[in-house]
Structure 1
Amino acid sequence: MSKSIDFLPVILAGGSGTRFWPRSRRARAKQVLALDGERSMIQQTVERLKPLSGPNHTWVITNEFLAQEIADQLKGVPSSQIIQEPVARNTAPACGLAAFLVERENPDAVLGVFPSDHVIADEPRFLKALQKGIQLAAAGDNMVVLGIEPTRPETGYGYIETGDFAKDDSALHVRRFTEKPNLNRAQEFVAAGNYYWNSGMFIWSARTLANAVREHLPETAPLLEKIAAAYGTPQFDQVFRELYPKCENISVDYAILEPRSAKGEHLSNLYCLPAEFSWNDLGSWASLYEYQMETRLRGDGDGNVAETEGHTALEAANNYVYSPKKFVALVGVEDLVIVDTEDALLIARRDHSQDVGKIVKELGLSGRTDLI
């Protein structure tokens, strides 16, 4: 990669991770948990980017509940670059704010936007794909999304319809984005062969993204610019808290990428870079179970994945158990998720694990904020 290109990662870490309750809480959300190893998800995210950009050049957008834990975990990231959203406003304002902050000092810098909670294997291939994306983003008013070749008709992901290859035969023009289709459409997309999962990883220059926010979010852009102008001053916190809640609550996909793709694939400067690395969006206990089974990190001969002091299973199969301080006995049960923490116990069918977030809402309505 050319040394003249400044590459700055922007890590989105504001989610609450409610589908991993009861391990995840407001101050211990999914991204700060070690779900698949010794290091937390956000630590792994920053570590894999180090060959291209060190932690001192990394920005993190999070919330007030997680900021201190993230600062403790990411010692190399300057505290001034861990931005605490006063309220959640989805990914478009978060990405836009990062763009306006960087644009003031370095408009040509290339920003890479990364969720804080993905699992990526084949890191050399990941870095190679990023290098291609950085070069493409730096070459003009280009937007690059890393696309994942679908392995199943997943209804929980967004899809990217691609067209012709760009000039270098590595990136594809984007025709259209489709958010979370129903099963029939997802099956059609997989069969078509020119659709990719939207990984949520984007690459663009600070100027390109800032101008896109100005174009597609004309009411939000001035608010973000005023917040960015106050950065580094004593008034920053007050301005941030006053103006950010007024920003539109919308994802970067809906706000910028979909209207940009509507211009037509050869006019939008929007590209999909197919990924050749292993990727997993750990979105639920069921997906964590499946990932650990696929990678053989854990699992007995009956398909039980157990993170426990020990376990035994009698006529029990395909269960996920987390109980690090207890011995667990499974008898005659199948396809369960069992998660035991100091103050809560979750028992759910694996195929209902996407609904765990509803429990958190119920706890809030019933006043049990001590469990959230």
Structure 2
Amino acid sequence: MTTERNNYCVILAGGKGSRLWPWSRNKFPKQFTDFFGVGRTQLQQTFDRFTHILPKENIYINTSCDYLDLVRGQLPEVAADHIMAEPIHRNTAPSVAWAVHRIMMFDPKANIIISPSDHNIVNDTAFYHNINEGLMFVEKNDAILTMGVSPTRPEPGYGYIQKGVYTGEGDIYKVQAFTEKPDREFAQMFMDSKEWYWNTGLFLSNTKYLRQCLCGFLPSVLPVGEIGEKITTIKEEEVFVRENFPRYPNISLDYGVLEKSENVYVMKCDFGWADLGTWHGVYESMSKREGDNVVIDSDVILEDSANNIIKLSKGKLGIINGLDGYIIVEKDNVLFICKKEESSSLVRKYANEVQIKKGEEFL
């Protein structure tokens, strides 16, 4: 069994969520919204879930300086030195490197869970079991463990992990390959093969090994190696971050470390999972009502309409007639309607166009 006090979680909550525009906005991204109308935001639900596995004081939040006040407001129980606010947006590798250093300053024997802040978990009991099993594995092994879920549809918007040799422990396999966002035909082949899992973005490792990987594959990310060893207080660390973080590469942990390391494994998990990444992905993952429409916490009257996803603000009534296969999203000062199948490219296209023609207030 792992020692609970040596287990930690870092929740990554600094993303802008731009693919879910206009519900997710630059000043108020999706992780800070109560997307499903359950009374807790995505970030709060993620935090709540990990408090069933770890002591609250072992949970850290990584975010952007832009969202520091949002994190403090939504998670007042998290101590100030457990919130790491980056001075500029970067990808997950620099974020994880900073978190590893922060935790190892106080516990060099730590095991760490890296978790997104905006995923939908269906079965919490299975989630707790899978995470605890994973923590026991990384405590005993110098390895990075990814959490995989069997695909339920040929989703081209997700990353995929191919399992390799069985380890002999639980449902854990050596990783054979990673593939990011294949086209639908390949996604169908992956699904049919039973060898590929969806990459949930959840990673576990012991911090000693993870720091070793970061030093070896990404020596330019902070604060690892000799420089990191000389920084022994939070004050010193935060000064270092403010001065150096903008120089660090915009690179993901997946690309920078996982795809290069020899000791990466995947656990087949059964907790049920959806990435709230794109409108089409949300549609595919949700249960459907009459006409295969998905209505998310919204007041609507539908007639002669099918295969749509609808998300409106509280207090707004939507009356929709004759639409098939559309996204209808309203938030604050933006109403966005487009064909569902083309939504990923159109969200990006129109968000860029709006920024140029109308300014930041609409993003």
User: Normalising by the residue count of structure 1, what TM-score does the alignment of the two structures yield?
Assistant: 0.89
CA distance in 2, matches of 1:348, 1:225: 52
Which ranges of structure 1 fall in alignment gaps of 5 or more residues? 261-267
CA distance in 2, matches of 1:122, 1:313: 31
Distance 1:127 1:312, change over 3 A: same
- How many residue pairs match? The answer is 359
Alignment of 1:204-243 (within 5 A): 204-222=205-223, 226=227, 229=231, 231-233=233-235, 236-243=237-244
Q: 1:245, CA displacement in angstroms?
A: 1.3
Distance 1:140 1:317, change over 3 A: closer
Q: C-alpha offsets along residues 215-273 of structure 1, whole Å, 9 cap, x if unaligned? A: 1012325578757827522x55443222111112211111111111xxxxxxx332111
Q: Residue type matched to 1:361 in 2?
A: N
1:317 has 2:306 as partner: yes
Q: C-alpha offsets along residues 267-316 of structure 1, whole Å, 9 cap, x if unaligned? A: x332111001110011122333333325xxxx3x2333445774322322
Aligned to 2:278: 284
CA distance in 2, matches of 1:5, 1:54: 7
- 8 Å Cα contact 1:26/1:65 also seen in 2: no
Equivalent position SS for 1:60: strand
1:339 has 2:329 as partner: yes
- 8 Å Cα contact 1:93/1:224 also seen in 2: no
Aligned to 1:31: 31
CA distance in 1, matches of 2:105, 2:332: 47
CA distance in 2, matches of 1:224, 1:115: 26
Q: C-alpha offsets along residues 54-107 of structure 1, whole Å, 9 cap, x if unaligned? A: 332111111122221111111221122111111122111111111111122212
Aligned to 1:152: 153
Alignment of 1:1-372 (within 5 A): 1-3=1-3, 6-36=6-36, 37-222=38-223, 226=227, 229=231, 231-233=233-235, 236-260=237-261, 268-294=262-288, 299=289, 301-306=290-295, 310-323=299-312, 324-355=314-345, 356-366=347-357, 368-372=359-363
Q: 1:131, CA displacement in angstroms?
A: 0.8
Equivalent position SS for 1:364: helix
CA distance in 1, matches of 2:66, 2:226: 25
CA distance in 2, matches of 1:318, 1:186: 21
Q: Residue type matched to 1:115 in 2?
A: P
- 8 Å Cα contact 1:35/1:41 also seen in 2: yes
CA distance in 2, matches of 1:322, 1:188: 32
- 8 Å Cα contact 2:298/2:310 also seen in 1: no
Equivalent position SS for 1:293: coil
Distance 1:91 1:310, change over 3 A: closer
Which ranges of structure 2 fall in alignment gaps of 5 or more residues? none
User: Normalising by the residue count of structure 2, what TM-score does the alignment of the two structures yield?
Assistant: 0.91
| Stretch deviating more after TM superposition (120-129 or 334-343) | 334-343
Distance 1:127 1:303, change over 3 A: same
- 8 Å Cα contact 2:5/2:55 also seen in 1: no
Distance 1:85 1:230, change over 3 A: farther
Equivalent position SS for 1:66: helix
- 8 Å Cα contact 1:149/1:197 also seen in 2: yes
CA distance in 2, matches of 1:270, 1:276: 20
Aligned to 1:263: none
- 8 Å Cα contact 1:97/1:225 also seen in 2: no
Q: C-alpha offsets along residues 293-348 of structure 1, whole Å, 9 cap, x if unaligned? A: 25xxxx3x233344577432232223233333232221222222222233111111
Q: C-alpha offsets along residues 97-128 of structure 1, whole Å, 9 cap, x if unaligned? A: 11111122212111000000000011111111
CA distance in 2, matches of 1:66, 1:224: 29
Equivalent position SS for 1:259: coil
Equivalent position SS for 1:145: strand
CA distance in 1, matches of 2:257, 2:113: 16
| Stretch deviating more after TM superposition (219-228 or 321-330) | 219-228
CA distance in 2, matches of 1:184, 1:123: 32
Distance 1:4 1:124, change over 3 A: closer
| Stretch deviating more after TM superposition (19-28 or 142-151) | 19-28
Q: 1:179, CA displacement in angstroms?
A: 2.1
- 8 Å Cα contact 2:4/2:54 also seen in 1: no
